[in-house]
């Protein structure tokens, strides 16, 4: 089946620093990648959608200058949390989808990255 | 995509069948019913999906009512490792997955 990896699985950073999270599709080409955020005891909330080679589309209320998304290749997307603050501490999950018409057109999820900002 | 409604929590005895209901009364004809689960601190895991017919795979069975307004996910012999939050999602093919509150299933020994 289609596999999506994320790195790192856990990261602790100091307030004011930036953190980059990588999401990779290991065995398929991900034309679209989705980034979700999940706070404790809450559901997943979509942050943004990105198509390879295009700018990401952000959901309402998500600051695009704070959460920088790059989807430069068909197997890699990155989320950079800039000037992180403690309220950015959360579980970040990426999801990847392949081209229409292929089995990988379904959404496949990464294992998530736990970000703690101190 | 149509909104879904699930009970917030359920308990099930280990070894018994777990029946998780989902209401999707406004589902449209081209929307599939998807089920995912999320074990604590992991990414969501796909379980099963269907359109009109009942479906079965190695993980679970999905029973969809004839009017498609509700469905039930059945885990035939629940184990402790099935403790998770289960999400029922109505989705048109190709649309992104939008997660609601889900059902927190606790399998007890």
- Identify the pLDDT of residue A103: 72
Split at pLDDT 50, 70, 90, the class of A101 is confident
| B78 contacts B10 by C-beta, under 8 angstroms | no
Least confident of A81-90, A107-116, B85-94: B85-94
Mean residue pLDDT of chain A comes to 93
Instruction: Give the pLDDT confidence score for residue A52 in this predicted structure.
Output: 86
What integer pLDDT is reported at residue B8 of this predicted model?
97
Q: Give the strand pairing for B70-75 and B61-64.
A: antiparallel
CA distance B93 to chain A (A): 8
Q: How far is B13 from chain A (nearest CA, A)?
A: 23
Average pLDDT over residues A95-116: 88
The whole-angstrom distance between residue A77's C-alpha and the CA centroid of its chain comes to: 7
| CA dihedral over A40, A41, A47, A52, signed as positive or negative | positive
CB contact A100 to B (< 8 Å): yes
Average predicted confidence (pLDDT) for chain B: 95
Name which residue leads in pLDDT, A99 or A73: A73
* Bridge partners (DSSP) listed for residue A32: A51, A97
**Is pLDDT at A1 greater than 90 in this prediction?**
no
3-state secondary structure of A31: coil
Residue B83 Cα distances to A75, B7, B17, B98, angstroms? 32, 15, 13, 22
Q: What is the pLDDT of residue A80?
A: 97
pLDDT at B27: 94
pLDDT of B22 > 80? The answer is yes
Q: Which two tokens stand for residue B26?
A: 């406004």
Residue B109: pLDDT band (50, 70, 90) is very high
Residue A57's H or E segment, with its range, is strand A57-58
With a cut of 90, say whether residue B87 has pLDDT above it.
yes
pLDDT at residue A102 greater than cutoff 90: no
Rounded alpha-carbon distances, angstroms, from residue A39 to A49, A70, A89, A113: 19, 23, 8, 12
Top-confidence residue, B7 or B97:
B7
Chain A residues in contact with B42 by the CB 8 A cut-off are 111-112
Average pLDDT over residues A57-83: 94
Query: Which residue spans within chain B are E strands per DSSP?
Result: 9-13, 18-23, 31-38, 45-50, 55-56, 61-64, 70-75, 84-92, 103-108
| Mean pLDDT score, B39-47 | 93
Task: Please name the residue of chain A whose CA is at the shortest distance from the CA of residue B84.
Answer: A41
Name the percent of chain A lying above pLDDT 90. Answer: 81
- Inter-chain contact A44–B93, Cβ cutoff 8 Å? no
Q: What is the pLDDT of residue B11?
A: 97
Please say whether the beta carbons of B45 and B98 come within 8 A. no
Angle of CA points B13, B15, B18, to nearest 5°: 60
Q: Is the pLDDT confidence value at A105 over 90? A: no
Distance CA B97, CA A107 (A): 8
């Amino acid at each position: 089946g289609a596999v999506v990896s994320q790195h790192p699985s856990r990261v602790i950073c100091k307030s004011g620093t930036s953190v980059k999270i990588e999401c990779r599709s290991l065995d398929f080409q991900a034309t679209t990648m989705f980034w979700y955020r999940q706070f404790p005891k809450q559901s997943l909330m979509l942050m943004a959608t990105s198509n390879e080679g295009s700018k990401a589309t952000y959901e309402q209320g998500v600051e695009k200058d704070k959460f920088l998304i790059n989807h430069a290749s068909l197997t890699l997307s990155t989320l950079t949390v800039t000037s992180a603050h403690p309220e950015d501490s959360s579980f970040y999950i990426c999801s990847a989808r392949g081209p229409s018409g292929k089995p990988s057109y379904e959404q496949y999820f990464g294992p998530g990255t736990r970000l703690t900002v101190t | 995509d149509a909104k879904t409604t699930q009970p917030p929590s359920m308990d099930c005895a280990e070894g018994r069948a777990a029946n998780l209901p989902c209401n999707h009364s406004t589902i449209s004809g081209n929307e599939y019913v998807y089920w995912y689960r999320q074990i604590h601190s992991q990414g969501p895991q796909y379980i099963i999906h269907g359109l009109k017919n009942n479906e079965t795979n190695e993980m679970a069975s999905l029973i969809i009512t004839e009017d498609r307004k509700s469905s039930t996910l059945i885990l035939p012999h629940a184990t402790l490792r099935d403790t998770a939050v289960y999400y029922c999602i109505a989705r048109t093919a190709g649309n992104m997955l939008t997660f609601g509150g889900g059902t927190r299933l606790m399998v007890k020994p």
